[in-house]
Amino acid sequence: MPLNLEQIRRFLGRTLQDPYGRTFGKVVGISANLRDEVTGVGIEVGNGEFVQCPGDRVAISGDSLVLTPSWKVEAEEFRKEFDVVTRRLKALDELFSVGDIQKDVYEDLRKQHEDAINELKSKRKQILDNLSQRNNTLNTQLRQLQTHLAGNKMLHASGEFDDQSYKAASDAIDTGLARAAAERKDVESIYNYLSKPDGTSPSPTSPVANPVQAPVPTQTPTPQTPARDQVIALHVRET
């Protein structure tokens, strides 16, 4: 259900975050239709650049406004659509098997649902590609942060970084590592779910096409870092 203007207007001029606690930018504008449903949110992303995000990507969590990543919205919409069509196809097969539906009606309905599944499979391939790209980006960010952390430890141990500066930088890196690792875990979980076969049984007259297969994204061990006070340092821009 879309947010309405009454719910969201208090966030005008305030920052919004992604689901992992990163600050994405500041809300500078809100668009709504005649039913007061939010259709878009204008965001200043911190470097003078402005972006417009669809209203369905924004949610309220406690006292924060949260912008859901586009890959997460696309994957969730696909999951719902695919679950519905596969459940209906299974019910259709069961009804036909006990003689509750005539053969010609069954074949017509099954063809319609098979066509819908094939369209969704094409859509799934694109979503899997996007998830794989996002996973690779997060792996690169994690490696860069780990490299900075190791370099800071070396320079601190050699006396080139003072304690205060070292701690501030390390706290920021620890927070960035935890947040990037949390997002990567979600990306990989959704990727693995969407990569599974659909589980639908073939029709007696026209089998369903084989499920799309995609390479599993490269995984990097999740970093283990000591708990520290959170300092926001890693910013991932989604449009």
What is the 3-state secondary structure of 156-210? HHCCCCCHHHHHHHHHHHHHHHHHHHHHHHHHHHHHHHHHCCCCCCCCCCCCCCC
Nearest CA to 225 out of 162, 157, 148, 164 is that of: 148
Give the gyration radius of the chain's Cα atoms: 23
What is the predicted pLDDT for the residue at 215?
37
Question: pLDDT of 92-115, one tens digit each?
Answer: 999 999 999 899 999 999 999 999
pLDDT single digits (tens) 18-63: 999 999 999 999 999 999 999 999 999 977 899 999 998 999 998 9
Residues whose CB is less than 8 angstroms from the CB of residue 166 and which lie 6 or more positions away in sequence, other chains included: 152, 155, 156
Instruction: Report how far residue 64's alpha carbon sits from residue 137's, in angstroms, rounded to the nearest whole number.
Output: 26
Identify the sign of the CA torsion 59, 64, 69, 70. Answer: positive
> What pairs with residue 37 in β-bridges?
4
Cβ–Cβ < 8 Å for 61, 20 = no
Amino acid at 199: G
Indicate the SS3 state at residue 60.
strand
Query: Which residues of the chain have a pLDDT value below 50?
Result: 199-239
Q: Is 214 helix (H, G, I), strand (E, B) or coil?
A: coil
- Alpha-carbon distance 71 to 120, whole Å? 16
Instruction: State whether CATH 2.40.50.140 applies to domain 5-67.
Output: no
